[in-house]
């Protein structure tokens, strides 16, 4: 083949497909190939960070317990970003928000529907034997909070399941001791007293633990569930008490009515007495006035005054005798009393009748 033809095929790449040459790669790809070790290094570092995760983010309401080669650091980590040495160090996150344990029946557990993730636990109610050995069920709610200051010591001593080792056994033990000292019938009546004793004893027990690991917020006695026979007996006693109270109310009402009547009668008697005393007092005053007047009159009478009065009366008699000649006059000895005049003149009709009889 001529030389010029060979040059032509070299330039044009030939007419066959097998003789086609691939295009040359761009310049930046050639550079990547030269620095591929750097890319592999970066990817390796990212992979190590992703899988080992040498940092922890602590949120509000949490504390971090740093553990270095199995040893707990004495001070808990505050919220924020914290780095650790993989394999050598790790951080245990603990919840320091207020937590709740509800001791209640299974039916109420299902209807509640709240989970442990919300800081609320639900446990079975506490069954207690009363003073006579009768079973009683107690439902209550306990609110508590991990002591932030001693969180590391608490986790180091009690572990991450510290609630099951501190709160739950203490609550159940105290409730059994307190309620077991009462008879079942008296529990509803002494509910407030029992609730106070349970709260006080649980606080005392928890506070007596080393470093005071838990702040107890509240202990609320929710319900006291009695045996059916005890409930029926209490209901019968309540009905009997209501009947007695009703009878006492009737007696009191009757006493009040009788008292009101007695008071009314007493008031009427007092009024009559006051009226009688008033009349007697008035009569006495009148009598005293009359007696005093008589005394004054008696003291004012003299011999000359009596003589004068006798003269006046005698003059009246004299006038009467002038018109009535049939009158008789009786003279009183001594002259101290006026003469008595008797009219002896008869009625003409009477005289006529007497004459006819004769």
- 13 falls within a domain: no
Straight-line distance from the first to the last Cα atom of the chain, in angstroms, rounded to the nearest whole number: 229
- Check whether residue 111 and residue 215 sit in a common domain: yes
Supply 292's token pair.
């005093």
Which pLDDT score is estimated for 59? Answer: 92
Tokens of 105: 């029946």
**What are 27-46's pLDDT values in tens digits?**
555 555 556 667 767 777 66
The number of angstroms, rounded, from the C-alpha of 245 to the middle of its chain's C-alpha atoms is 24
Q: For residue 186, what is the DSSP state? A: G
Mean pLDDT of 65-83: 90
Q: Are residues 216 and 308 in the same domain?
A: no
Q: Please calculate the CA angle 309-315-320 and round it to the nearest 5 degrees.
A: 130
The mean per-residue pLDDT over the stretch 78-106 comes to 89
Cα–Cα separations (whole angstroms), residue 294 to 281, 284, 290, 291, 299: 20, 15, 6, 5, 8
User: Domain check: are 107 and 210 in the same one?
Assistant: yes
Element containing residue 83 per DSSP (H, E) = strand 80-83
- Does 210 reside within a domain? yes
Residue 170 reports pLDDT greater than 90? yes
pLDDT band at 356 (very low <50, low <70, confident <90, very high): very low
Report how far residue 312's alpha carbon sits from residue 76's, in angstroms, rounded to the nearest whole number: 138
Structure tokens at 257: 């009515």
Q: Does residue 3 lie in a domain region? A: no
CA atoms within 13 A on the CB side of 209: 21
Beta strands 135-146 and 126-129 are antiparallel
Which tokens in the block code for residue 180?
């077991």
CATH number of the structural domain spanning residue 125: 3.30.479.30
How many whole angstroms separate alpha carbon 197 and alpha carbon 49? 54
pTM of the model: 0.55
What backbone phi and psi angles, to 5 degrees, belong to 56? -140, 135
Domain hosting 127: range is: 99-226
Please write the tens of the pLDDT for every residue from 101-121. Answer: 999 986 665 555 544 557 899
| Mean pLDDT along residues 212-224 | 93
**Overall average pLDDT of the 256-261 stretch:** 86
Kindly tell me the burial class for residue 125, based on how many C-beta atoms sit within 10 Å of its own C-beta (0-12, 13-18, 19 or more): buried
Which residue, 114, 166, 119, 171, is CA-closest to 142? 171
- For residue 124, give both structure tokens: 């079975």
Residue 133: which H helix or E strand, with range?
A: none
Asked whether residue 31 falls in the same domain as residue 85, the answer is yes
Could you tell me if 105 and 222 lie in one domain?
yes
Instruction: Specify the range with the lowest mean pLDDT, choosing from 6-10, 62-66, 205-209.
Output: 6-10
275 vs 317, higher pLDDT: 275
In this prediction, residues 118-140 reach a mean pLDDT of 90
Q: Looking at 67, 95, 123, which one is the last position of a domain?
A: 95
In a domain, 340, yes or no: yes
């Amino acid at each position: 083949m001529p030389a010029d033809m060979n040059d032509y095929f070299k330039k044009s790449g030939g007419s066959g497909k097998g003789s086609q040459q691939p295009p040359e790669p761009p310049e930046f790809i050639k550079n990547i190939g030269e620095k591929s070790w750097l890319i592999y290094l970066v990817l390796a570092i990212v992979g190590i960070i992703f899988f080992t995760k040498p940092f922890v983010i602590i949120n509000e309401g949490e504390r971090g317990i740093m553990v270095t080669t199995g040893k707990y650091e004495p001070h808990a980590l505050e919220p924020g970003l914290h780095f650790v040495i993989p394999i050598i160090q790790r951080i245990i996150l603990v919840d320091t928000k207020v937590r709740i344990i509800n001791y209640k029946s299974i039916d109420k557990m299902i209807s509640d529907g709240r989970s442990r993730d919300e800081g609320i636990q639900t446990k079975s109610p506490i069954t207690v034997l009363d003073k006579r050995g009768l079973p009683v069920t107690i439902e209550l709610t306990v609110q508590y909070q991990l002591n932030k200051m001693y969180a590391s010591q608490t986790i180091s001593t009690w572990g991450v399941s510290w609630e099951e080792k501190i709160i739950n056994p203490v609550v159940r033990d105290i409730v059994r001791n307190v309620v077991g000292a009462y008879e079942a019938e008296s529990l509803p009546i002494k509910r407030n007293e029992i609730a106070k004793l349970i709260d006080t004893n649980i606080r005392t027990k928890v506070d007596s633990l080393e470093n005071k690991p838990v702040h107890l917020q509240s202990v609320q006695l929710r319900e006291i569930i009695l045996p059916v026979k005890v409930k029926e007996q209490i209901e019968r006693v309540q009905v009997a008490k209501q009947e007695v109270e009703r009878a006492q109310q009737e007696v009191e009402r009757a006493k009040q009515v009788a008292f009101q009547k007695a008071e009314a009668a007493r008031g009427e008697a007092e009024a009559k007495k006051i009226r009688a005393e008033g009349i007697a007092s008035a009569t006495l005053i009148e009598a005293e006035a009359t007696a005093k007047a008589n005394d004054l009159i008696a003291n004012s009478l003299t011999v000359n005054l009596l003589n004068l009065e006798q003269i006046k009366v005698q003059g009246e008699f004299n006038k009467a005798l002038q018109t009535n000649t049939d009158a008789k006059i009786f003279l009183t000895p001594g002259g101290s009393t006026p003469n008595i005049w008797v009219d002896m003149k008869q009625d003409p009709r009477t005289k006529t009748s007497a004459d006819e009889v004769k």
